[in-house]
Amino acid sequence: MKIGVIGAGTMGIGIAQVAAQNKNDVFLIDSSEVALEKAKQGLKTTLQKLVEKGKITEDDLQETLEKTSFSHELKVLAQCDLVIEAIIENLSIKHELFREIEKNVSENCIIASNTSSLSIASLGSVIKNSNRVIGIHFFNPAPIMPLVEIIPAVQTSQEVLKKCQSIISDWGKIGFIVNRVARPFYGEALRIYEEGIADFATIDWAMTEFGGFKMGPFTLMDYIGNDVNYAVTESVFEAFYFDPRFKPSFTQKRHKEAGFLGRKTGRGYYDYSIPELPSPTRDKDLGLMIYNRILCLLINEATDAVFMQIGSVEAIDLAMTKGVNYPKGLLKWADEIGLAIILNQLENLFHEYGEDRYRPNALLRRMVREKKKFY
């Protein structure tokens, strides 16, 4: 197949690599020459590392590079069967691009977006033949994460959905539908910091030490980029009609405005120009309090996803373990801790703050009343 990928940033390069390694001809497009040059070098370096580790051969490397071409012009998309857009997370800029994509692709080309949070239905609304629009949401880093979220819009045809599911599974990925559950990992960590309970390093320590997460929330936000993570939070908030559960954080907004985007700018919550990152306060009681607070909000969100029929218990746990690399499925975790304990913690927070972000999900209350478990 011929695959177009637009946006040669973090996600675009990864998606292009996945497609090219699966023997497709890939056209990676970016409006910035600098980004294209960086992508070219980046792909080469990544593939060389894979050769050194013995994961691919020198021939595979050559073949993948030959299959990938770089351009700043959309007209190369004319031959593509599938185009995946991975530019900046901004609805009006994406709308503009979608109109341009439609002018440049063939009638049967599927037009997909890698958006983390914008509405696929809205993206589809600006083009004439919108039944070919779909969300194909890769996780970061795309070549490594096994899960890909496939998001049909109300306009998407069954044929396009089936075709995309088959492409994604041919690429060795698991197609999946889920969203939003991870927001409290960032939002509640920021809130805990804003209340002055602990600094970034201590909150990160609590989540890795007691939760077994691979990275703490601030390290992860610095890795994702505060611009990207903030944009996702803002559009989830909007998409849920400003439900206070998803309220963005001033701290993150100010970091974004200051250009403290994370590793990519050398400074985010941490300053990467200093050789040693700050040490956490290793206070066990404090650490456990932070971990419990963030985890019970995550579990509340996963419960809501079951309650609102977004996916089954197993599917939501699979999404969080395979999609965002959580050490355990949140609902399995909830069973282990005990649903009554989780509910009690949420009730205490809700009582203390009187804010809707802590309101326990109705399904959780019901399950505790009926002495049920998720598994």
Q: Choosing from 85, 89, 102, 149, which is the catalytic residue?
A: 149
Pairing state of beta strands 68-71 and 82-85?
unpaired
Binding mask 36-65 for ligand NAD (x = CB under 6 A): ------------------------------
| Residue 133 interacting with ligand NAD (CB under 6 A) | no
| Dihedral angle over CA of 138, 26, 224, 85, nearest 10 | -70
Candidates 88, 308, 341, 362: give the one binding ligand NAD (CB under 6 A): 88
Least separation in angstroms between residue 314's CB and ligand NAD is 23
Task: For residues 164 and 162, give the distance between their C-alpha atoms in angstroms, rounded to a whole number.
Answer: 5
Whether 137 is catalytic is: yes
Q: Is 32 a catalytic residue?
A: no
Q: How far is CA 362 from CA 196, 317, 337, 346, 368, in A?
A: 30, 19, 19, 12, 10
Residue 149 is a binding residue for ligand NAD (CB under 6 A): no
Look at residues 49, 79, 64 and name the one whose alpha carbon lies nearest to residue 16: 64
Q: Is 72 a catalytic residue?
A: no
Place of tokens 């919108």: 130
- Nearer Cβ to ligand NAD (148/346): 148
Q: Tell me the window of 42-50, 134-142, 191-199, 355-363 that interacts with ligand NAD (CB under 6 A).
A: 134-142
In the sheet with 110-113, reading across from the earlier edge strand, the strands are: 68-71, 25-29, 2-6, 82-85, 110-113, 133-138, 147-152, 174-176
236 binds ligand NAD (CB under 6 A): no
Q: Which of 155, 154, 153, 152 is nearest to 164 (CA)?
A: 152
Does residue 10 interact with ligand NAD by CB under 6 A? yes
For the bound state, the minimum distance from the C-beta of residue 149 to ligand NAD, rounded and expressed in Å, comes to 9
* Residue number, nearest CB to ligand NAD: 9
- The residue among 209 and 227 lying less far from ligand NAD, judged by its C-beta, is 227
Under 8 Å between Cβ of 16 and 82? no
**Is there a contact between 15 and 86 (Cβ–Cβ < 8 Å)?**
yes
To the nearest whole angstrom, how small is the minimum distance from the Cβ of residue 169 to ligand NAD? 19
Give the binding site for ligand NAD (CB under 6 A): 6-12, 30-32, 35, 86-89, 93, 97, 114-116, 137, 139-140, 224-225, 228, 232
